[in-house]
Each structure stands twice: as structure tokens, then as C-alpha cells.
Amino acid sequence: MNEKDEKTPSAETQERRSGLCSYILPLAVKTLIACLVLFSLIFALVGSFAPKAYMNLYHSFGNDGMATYYAAAAVKRAGEHPTDCDGTCDLSALLTTAMSCAENTEGHFDRKLMFAEKYLALPCHEKHSAIVDGKYIEGNDLSRSGLTVLSAIYGYDDYVSGVRMEALCGSDFAAATREITEKAMTERKDTALMNELIAYTDFGDYSAFGSGELLGNVREYFSAISEGASADVEAYGKGNPDIRKAADIASRLGRLYDLAYNMNKAEQGINAASPHFTSEVVRSVYNAYKGFIDTASAPA
């Protein structure tokens, strides 16, 4: 027998190897599937006991859809909230993250509405919002770019009111219309109404402004907030630079511009006979906003 013949496996050996592979491979596949199923069950079971941890996990991965699901479960499992809270409680932080997750996903209006309403119902929500605003200030300054950023994110408590109205529009637009109509009639100093009106008009249905009553009240509210902002701009120019005051004024002016822009579209949408929010008004509000940014961020 030559060398080649000696190294060639016999037919019997090849059959044994083939039989062994045909047994091991299916077993390995079944084992892998069983492990995956078991891991999924364990993962789901742990998630039911620690939804907040899973919310943070999915949020960190950028999967805010799943994060919103676990956020809702975590909020429902949250215990009673102390009435003397200083704004540093776990629940306010949980709801802040929950709203962030919901805002980054399409739909989920019911969950978004629940998060916002529970946040605004907290006795410490204003204190927590002040903490959030303080963190925004820490990461910015009175430079033009820093103040521009602050104008878009400062005023967290009012922002949550806008999130709530956005969610209400998506889930029950008729209820949103009733609420915005009543608030526009009674509120003249509440800056949160700006966020609510912006969210309401972002929805794109302007039919409620056709009656004239809502439109007239929004005009009066806009004028009242504009006058207050103008007075604060004048007072700021006479005092020492203060980043919190500057952020507050810039935020109001920025929202006034957004509201004027949306109301310009609303008046066009209903073909208002005597439009108030003309292109000139929109441009004037923007110039006031831009002028304050430039003035407040200029070196002393």
C-alpha cells in the first residue's frame, strides 16, 4: 500500500464522522435557540421588575421607542411622592427622561400626555424645572452662540406645558381646542401659554380661529406678553449682566417669534379679514429677539 492509500480514511471512518456531524449540528442549533429563548425570557422578566433601568438602557442605545415603553411601566410603578420635595426626587428625574424619550418617537401621544400631566402635577415640578434650567446655564454663557442656545431650551416648566398640549392635540384635538380657547380668554401673564399655543398651531388645524373670539384673545395675549418682554429688555439694559435674566428674556422673545410665525400661517389659513400677525409683525419680533441676543452677548 502506498503512502497516499495509508492517509485516505476508510469508508467506515467517513460514515462515522458524517453521522457524528449530523447529530452534533442539529443539537448545537437547538441548544442555541433554547439559550436565546431563555435569555429573552430572563431579559423580559428582569425588565418587569426594573423598568427604569431598561428605560435608561434603551435610551442610551438610541432606541427611544422601547425606552418609552419601559418609561411608562416605570412611571406606573412609582410610589407616593413627598409633598416637601426639593425637586431632586427620582420621580421628577424619571418623568424628565420619559418625556425626552417620548419626544424622540412618533406617536405615543397617550404616554406623552401621561408623562407631562404627572410631571406638572408634582408639587416639586417648578423646583425641578429650575434645576434643569440651572444645568442648561452651566453649559452655556452670555456669548451670542450660548445665549441663542439658551433661548431655545431655557424655561423647562413652560416646555412641559407645550409637550402636554402637543400630546393632547394628537390624542383629542377637540379637548385641546376647548382648553386653549378657555386659557386664551383668561390668561394674560402665563408664559406657558405661549408654548401651548405654539404646540396647538403646530398641529396645523386653524379652524378654531375662524370664529374670531379665539383669534382676538390670542392677539391680546400676544400683545400683553410682548409689552412685558419689552419692559424687561429695557430694564436689563440698565442693570448688570445676568445670565438667568438674559436667558429668560431671550427665551420669551424666541417663543414670541415662533408664536407670531405660526399665527401668521393661521391667519392666512382662515383668510382673516384684518390680519394682525402680518409678515411685518413677524419680522419685527424676530429683529427684537436678534437685537437682544446681540446686545446681551456684547462685551461690557
Say if CB 293 and CB 147 are below 8 A apart: yes
Q: How far is CA 129 from CA 55, 114, 180, in A?
A: 21, 18, 23
Walk along the chain (300 residues) and give the pLDDT tens digit of each residue.
455 455 555 555 555 555 555 656 565 555 655 454 444 444 444 444 468 888 888 888 889 998 899 899 999 887 778 888 999 999 999 999 999 999 988 878 999 999 999 999 999 999 999 999 999 999 999 999 999 999 999 999 999 999 999 999 999 999 999 999 999 999 989 999 999 999 999 999 999 999 889 999 999 999 999 999 999 999 998 888 899 999 999 999 999 999 999 999 999 999 998 999 999 999 999 999 999 999 999 876
Residues 6+ apart with CB under 8 A from 203: 166, 169, 170, 173, 176
Say if CB 285 and CB 151 are below 8 A apart: no
Write down the pTM of the prediction.
0.83
Furthest C-alpha separation in the chain: 109
Distance CA 58, CA 237 (A): 46
Say if CB 75 and CB 118 are below 8 A apart: yes
